[in-house]
Amino acid sequence: MERLTPQIVFTFSLLGFLPVIGIFALAGNKAGEILTDPHKYFELVRNPSPMDFFWMIAGNLGDAVGYYLIILPIAVALLRQAQSPLGRASAWLIGLYGVNGAFWAIVSAVALPIAASRSASDWQTATTICQNIGWGIIGNLLGSLGWLAMGMSLFSRYRWFAVFSIVLGLLYFCSGQIAKSFMPKWLGTVGIGFYLVFQLIVWNPWAAWIVAMP
């Protein structure tokens, strides 16, 4: 982590905004609705133009870097510095969250443009597998449990970072597929908004600063 400074982490994390920028570029005032229900995106990208292809590929690759790949070295450093079994478990969970998320982002960068060129059923299959299951269930559980465990394990050493990690874990869980089955829709929307912004510009660089401390 000597070369992966908080400034570098923050810079690469900004790539995570590419999918949001792409959705707003294509959907305009319907972007929020599409963020909560990606199946509706198909009507906007049916018979995709070169710009549609660009945003689907660039958005997912930016997602892979900004949200997922950038936290892998942080997870490794947290694992090395962990002082308890809970701390080690949290680092593993965050690392697996990063691997899982990056995998589905790269798959989406390939599968979604192909599905958009074919049919609504192909699009629904691709978004269900990648977004609802890959991110919405598997990734959501790994990430929310990882942040909750990390917050509890670091509470005595880095209290405010720990509190922020716990809040991020709770709100991230609220945005997942499991929580949607029993929680109010507005809470999931708040969770998505909080996670989309504050993992990138707050948690990622803050975590890099924590692990770089002597």
Give the DSSP letter string of 14-75.
GGGGHHHHHHHHHHGGGHHHHHH-GGGGHHHHSS--HHHHHHHHHHHHHHIIIIIGGGHHHH
- What secondary structure does DSSP assign to 137-156, as a single string? IIIHHHHHHHHHHHHHHHTT
Confidence of residue 30 (pLDDT cuts 50, 70, 90): low
* Amino acid letter, 37: D
Q: Does the structure show a pLDDT above 70 at 131?
A: yes
Instruction: Give the pLDDT score at 43.
Output: 64
Half-sphere exposure of 62 (CA within 13 A, CB side): 20
Average pLDDT over residues 81-90: 92
Task: Give the range among 40-54, 75-89, 98-112, 135-149 with minimum mean pLDDT.
Answer: 40-54
Report the number of secondary-structure helices (H) and strands (E) in the chain: 13, 0
Confidence of residue 117 (pLDDT cuts 50, 70, 90): confident
Contacts of 168 (CB under 8 A, 6+ apart): 147, 194, 195, 198, 199, 203
Confidence of residue 34 (pLDDT cuts 50, 70, 90): low
Looking at per-residue pLDDT, the higher value among 45 and 205 belongs to 205
What is the residue whose two structure tokens read 């959501």?
140
For the chain, give the percent of residues with pLDDT over 90: 50
Q: Does the structure show a pLDDT above 90 at 28?
A: no
Structure tokens, 133:
């299951």
Are 82 and 153 a contacting pair, CB within 8 Å?
yes
Instruction: Give the pLDDT score at 90.
Output: 95
Confidence of residue 36 (pLDDT cuts 50, 70, 90): low
> How many angstroms separate the CA atoms of 69 and 83, rounded?
24
DSSP state of 199: I
Whole-model pTM: value is: 0.89
What is the residue whose two structure tokens read 């977004």?
131
pLDDT in tens, 159-214: 999 999 999 999 999 888 888 888 888 888 888 888 889 999 999 999 999 988 66
DSSP state of 65: I
Angle at which helices 185-198 and 159-174 cross, to 10°? 130
Q: Count other C-beta atoms under 10 Å from residue 179's C-beta.
A: 20
Confidence of residue 23 (pLDDT cuts 50, 70, 90): confident
Average pLDDT over residues 129-144: 91
> How many angstroms separate the CA atoms of 210 and 130, rounded?
32
Confidence of residue 2 (pLDDT cuts 50, 70, 90): low
